[in-house]
Structures are given as structure tokens and as C-alpha cells.
Amino acid sequence: MQNIIKIEIQPEDSGVRLDKLISLKVDNMTRSAAEKLIADGNAEINGKILTKSYRGAVGDCIDLVIPELKKLDVRSEEIPLEIMYEDEDLLVVNKPKGMVVHPAAGNATGTLVNALLAHCGDSLSGINGVVRPGIVHRIDKDTSGLLIVAKNDFAHRKLAEQIKAHSFTRRYEAVVHGNLKEDDGTIDAPIGRHPLHRKMMAVTEKNSRNAVTHYHVLARYNGFTHVQCQLETGRTHQIRVHMAYIGHPIAGDPVYGPKKPVPNLNGQCLHARVIGFLHPRDGRYIEITSDLPEYFVRFLKKLKQT
């Protein structure tokens, strides 16, 4: 059954492009998903179908039609999962480095979603569409660590509200190039698509969203620093982009780091170590911590020896 969401243009929304506005106003709606909804004729005012370049005026009320979800066409796979917490509403998974979160072009199988379908069956939220069941937030393929999964739409909405309100706890550990001058700091710089490389993100004022990362130095080594990063916002590639922006890219990052890779890392040395949230059903605070994975520990040991 389709769902209709009404978006009333407020003063602060006046002049904002429709695709961007929808992505900001609708929970878990990416800009690309908003563009597709608009292109399919699912956004209108008084029966008039809108385009993505439409810029609303104060008082406009947009009817956004969310079509009925299509039947999931992603097969389940018996892939081992390290589950750190689970109940009838959600589970927390410790994702290994190298695993893609959801199916996409070039990655139709072997993803976290394929594994979740085998583990949970039909018990996954449907808010994020047919190829992302249960996925409330994502971490990159080559980032290891904790990820929360919603088993129903109620839990998904409640968890998404916490993320939007920046009350979700997400602490990462990383090894970065160079020696940070301060032991603690905050990077407050907006992130959007790279103006030249569309698969990359960048600190930019154009078509961007605010992004805030707090960091704390855990240890210093010859040419590298072990840091803890806490997300206040959750933009695509946020920690990787922010650390590169201040001149300290993540070790092993093939996209935002130095051209010469760090030997044997095979991707960025970045681990989502702590996740904390209010349980959607009873409001109790839950915080999960995962051990540093073997690749991370091995790299730290090597740094200590230099």
C-alpha cells in the first residue's frame, strides 16, 4: 500500500531544490532516492507533477507518494555473522572488513543483507527499500565494525530519529598519517559530492550537508597517529573525508589517502568500535563495544616496533 507524505515549506526551506529538500525532510531518504521518486512523478502540488529543480515557496504543501514496496529480489545466503546483540526489534552486527553492506551493481551476493535474510527471514524493516531491508545506517566495505539492523519498521523509525537528532553514539578508531598537533579536536566542515569525481565525497559548500567529527588521540607513532573519532553527524565517508581534509588521511585509504598504499592493509584502517542508542521499544540505553580486529591490532603492533 502506498504512503503519502505531506511536506509543508517553512521559511528556512524556501528556495531549496526539491530533491535536496525531500532528502532532508524524509527519514532515511537519500538524494538519489528522492530524485527517482520525483522522476517517477511521485511529487506534486495540487495535481501538478514537479521536477527535481522545483524550489518551493513558504506555504507550499508538497504531496510525496511513497510507492508500495516491491517484493524483495535478493537471495539469502548462509554467511556467518558475528552478532553482538539481538532481540525482537533489532540486532547489532560486527561487520568484517571487506563485506559490502547491501547488494548493488557488481555486488549482488556475499553482502551483509544476503546474510541477514538467511538469519532473520522476513523479520527485517522495509523502510529502506527492497535491497536494503533492515539497514538503518551503513559503513564502508573496507571499514570493519558495528552496525545496527532494524527488524521492523517501528524500530527503524525510532532509530532513524535518534540518528537525525545526533543522539546516536558512534565511536570509531583509526590510524591516520602524520602527527596531529592537538590531542583533541573537532572538524566542522560540510560534506557533499566531489565536484569532479562523482564517486568521491569532499568538503565543499556546494550542495553539501553539515558534518561534524570529534577526534581524540590515543597513541602516537613514527609517522602515524592512533585516534578515536566520534560522529556527531553521519555523512558518506565522513571520517575519511574529514581526516584527509585536515591533512591526516586514514592509513590504507585508497581513495582519500596517499597514492602509495600502506603495505598489507588492503583498505583503510578504520573500525566502528562503539555504538550506543536508546532501545526503540523501552527507551533503555544500550552501548555495544567490539574488540579491534586482527588486521588493526597487527598494524598497531608493527607501528610500536618502528
E strands present in the chain: 3-8, 43-45, 48-49, 61-66, 83-86, 90-95, 144-150, 169-177, 184-188, 191-193, 201-203, 208-209, 212-221, 224-231, 270-278, 285-289
Question: Which residue among the candidates 13, 19, 89, 140 is catalytic per the annotation?
Answer: 140
CA 239, CA 221: separation in Å to the nearest integer? 20
The half-sphere exposure of 264 on its side-chain side, counting CA atoms within 13 A, is: 8
Strand order in the sheet with 191-193: 201-203, 191-193, 208-209
- Tell me the C-alpha distance between 265 and 271, whole Å: 13
Q: Decide if 269 contacts 229 (C-beta within 8 A).
A: no
Residues forming beta bridges with residue 217, ordered by sequence position: 227
Active site residue 253: no
Question: Are residues 293 and 270 in contact, defined by beta-carbon separation less than 8 angstroms?
Answer: no
Return the active site residues.
140
